[in-house]
Every structure is written in structure tokens, then in C-alpha cells.
């Protein structure tokens, strides 16, 4: 493989990883659970400030939040991505905004995070194997 081909592959891989990061937030915010599953490895795990477990457990928990009409929006920053073969580590700033107006008053919550995502490619499909916060404010 020529050096130029190798560089093009790295750029392509980084673009694909950034795309999966954005799709994860997009599908999560829209409660599109079937599409959210396409961004995650079947045996992947999430460890967040409010949740720790498998993707299916995460979807179940998010569904319960959605039933309460709590609005959620993720804003993802540009990720820093390190690739090693068919695996990658990405770090991205993320802002999570939520609004709950089910009680006597509206509550707005904003959380600032740096999210670590471990990715791997399996049978040509890129997906997350682990998501966890490095910093959560």
C-alpha cells in the first residue's frame, strides 16, 4: 500500500468514526432505538453519570425517560480520534441538555462532558464497544 493510500484510509476511518458519534447522539435524541442499535457493538457497554450497563438496558432506561416527556438534546464536539488497526479511541466534548416539566415547575439541566468512545470494526461494520465519561460537570 502506498503512503498516500494509507493516509486516505486514515482520513476515511476518522470520518466514519465521527459519523457514528453524530448518529449515536442523533438517534438517541429522537428515541430511534432501532437505528441507535446500528451504532453499537452487540456486546458493548455504557458507563454514564446516571447509567451503567448494556445497550439494551440503556435503551430501556431511555425509553422510560421518554415516557415521562423529558426532552433530551446532545451536542457533540469534534472528536479527537486515535486509530490502531480495526480499533479506535475517540474523545469528544459533549453537552447534554434536558428539560423536565412534569412537576410543579420546569427544570432545565445542562451537563458538560468529555466522552470516551472505544470503537471497533467487525465484518466491515464500525460500531462502539464502550462509552464512558472522562469528565462530567
Tens-place pLDDT, residues 18-43: 998 999 999 999 999 999 999 888 88
- What sections of the chain are H helices per DSSP? 3-29, 33-37, 55-67
pTM of the model: 0.82
pLDDT of 3 higher than 70: no
Q: Which CATH number fits domain 3-136: 1.10.3720.10, 3.10.450.50, 3.30.230.20, 3.40.47.10?
A: 3.10.450.50
**In angstroms, what CA-CA distances link 59 with 20, 39, 54, 63, 125?**
17, 13, 9, 6, 21
Which long-range contacts link 36-40 to residues 24+ away (Cβ below 8 Å)? 38/127, 39/127, 39/128, 40/127, 40/128, 40/129
Domain borders along the chain are: 3-136
Amino acid at each position: 500500500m502506498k503512503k498516500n493510500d494509507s493516509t486516505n484510509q486514515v482520513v476515511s476511518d476518522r470520518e466514519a468514526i465521527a459519523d457514528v458519534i453524530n448518529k449515536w447522539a442523533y438517534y438517541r435524541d429522537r428515541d430511534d432505538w432501532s437505528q441507535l442499535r446500528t451504532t453499537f457493538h452487540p456486546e458493548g457497554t455504557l458507563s454514564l453519570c446516571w447509567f451503567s450497563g448494556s445497550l439494551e438496558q440503556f435503551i430501556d432506561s431511555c425509553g422510560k425517560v421518554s415516557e415521562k416527556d423529558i426532552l433530551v438534546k446532545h451536542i457533540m464536539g469534534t472528536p479527537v480520534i486515535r486509530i490502531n488497526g480495526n480499533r479506535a479511541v475517540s474523545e469528544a466534548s459533549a453537552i447534554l441538555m434536558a428539560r423536565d416539566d412534569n412537576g410543579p415547575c420546569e427544570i432545565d439541566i445542562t451537563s458538560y462532558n468529555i466522552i470516551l468512545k472505544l470503537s471497533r470494526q467487525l465484518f466491515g461494520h464500525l460500531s462502539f464497544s464502550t462509552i464512558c465519561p472522562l469528565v462530567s460537570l
